[in-house]
Amino acid sequence: MINICYIMSLSTAMEGFFFDGDNRVFGMPAFAHVFFKLLSDKKFNHIYVLLFINREKFRRDSFDISVPKPFRRKIMVKPFIIRNKMHLFLMLPLCICYGMFLIKKHNIDILYGHGSIGALAGILSLLSRTPNIRRLYGTFLYKEANKSKCHIFIRHPLEYLAFALPSKSVIITNDGTHGDLVYKKIGNKRAKLVFLLNGIDAEIEKKVKPVKFALSPQYLSYVARIDYWKRQHLAIEALAILDKKGLGIPLYIVGPVINGEYFIRIKKLVKRYNIEHLVHFTGAIPREEALYVLKTSYLTMSLYDTSNLGNVFLESLRMGTPIVALNNNGSLDIFPEDAYCAIKSDNAAEVAKAIEQLLLDKNRRHTISKKAKLYAQNLISWRDRANVEIKLLMEGANIA
């Protein structure tokens, strides 16, 4: 029986789980598939969670923990409310002391650190000799890979340590942000690098559920959390260009607001272009409903500024929804270009041109859809993908 300590930051996908007793997940499948499998796996006795909460991001009246009833005997959560980065660094000594207390009192077998705060797992491992595994969901550090290690550490100390500290394994998502190259530069050479592409739900179309609001008969979609680097503004600007040509088509932007200032900005953009009748913000909706919007779209888009090899891209391939995607930094080089509509520039005019061509060319849409589904058959399932991670955790805890 394994006792595991999760060290993680709160995501919008898991907010309802930790505070509202809601076992639905609003995104983050790479995290959720492993997490829920551990909750149901009898080989894992207890899961202790050190949960770091950004107070500015989550403006709740209460941060009282309330996980779903079926899991209350298995999971214990210690929240740390953080105001900003400086506050986080001031809190770290207290967090380390609490972590050491937890390891000793509850006989923790393996520390499992997620994201940049997962560096804390490496620190606690050094102090307690408890094995640790760290999990990174891509990285922004590739933009500074040509800088010195000292420069990277000073600017991004926690993310640097999440790569550099000793570990049984460092698991990095192959999302096109070149985490393997960053690891080669600053990673701990004695730790095993596990570089994995995200999984895909083999039965994804069976899990689709209709939305609880009216959709237009034909529409475009953009499924992503609303944040500057997700760049919903490019889709809006492209739609404005199309509207001027008489090709206006409704656009549904699906996802929770992460960056409030950016949300205000893109709403002003919609008003400036006078396309309020075309652009619809759904906010956060259950994953099954988001998949419905994606599946029934005329076409969808992924125009992020770092990499577009994410879940939306893979899910669109699996369901055969034509996707206009920006192949930046070579993030989509492993995919055949006849399985999606590739653009090379983050220019709204080029996005509009790609959309226009697909809107007017039914045969090309059909070909892309067919090729996408065919290619997606080669992708690993989420079940197998999660099993890889769980096996590493068991090996790390010396229980094979």
Cα–chain-centroid distance for residue 230? 11
Model pTM? 0.84
Establish how many alpha carbons lie within 13 A of residue 108's alpha carbon, considering only the half-sphere containing its beta carbon.
29
pLDDT at 175: 87
Q: What is the pLDDT of residues 141-198, one digit of tens each?
A: 988 888 999 999 999 999 999 999 999 999 999 988 889 999 999 998 888 999 998 9
Cα–chain-centroid distance for residue 231? 15
CATH, domain range 2-199+381-396: 3.40.50.2000
CATH architecture, domain 204-376: 3-Layer(aba) Sandwich (3.40)
SS (H, E, C) 226-262: ECHHHCHHHHHHHHHHHHHCCCCCCEEEECCECCHHH
pLDDT at 375: 92
The mean predicted confidence, pLDDT, of the chain is 94
Kindly tell me if the per-residue pLDDT of 354 is higher than 70: yes
Kindly write down the DSSP assignment for every residue of 136-151, as one continuous string. Answer: E---SGGGGTTS-HHH
Kindly tell me if the per-residue pLDDT of 319 is higher than 80: yes
Mean pLDDT within 56-71:
91
**Hey, CA dihedral for 59, 62, 64, 67, is it positive or negative?**
negative
* Domain 2-199+381-396 identical in fold to domain 204-376: yes
Domain locations in the chain as residue ranges: 2-199+381-396, 204-376
Rounded-to-integer distance, Cα 195 and Cα 173, Å:
6
Question: Which of 218, 248, 121, 113 lies closest to 172 in space, CA to CA?
Answer: 113
Q: Is 174 left (phi over 0), alpha (psi -120 to 50) or beta?
A: beta
Rounded-to-integer distance, Cα 229 and Cα 90, Å:
28
Two tokens, residue 246: 């008489």
Kindly tell me if the per-residue pLDDT of 329 is higher than 80: no
Mean pLDDT within 71-84:
96
Q: Are 346 and 326 in contact (CB under 8 A)?
A: yes
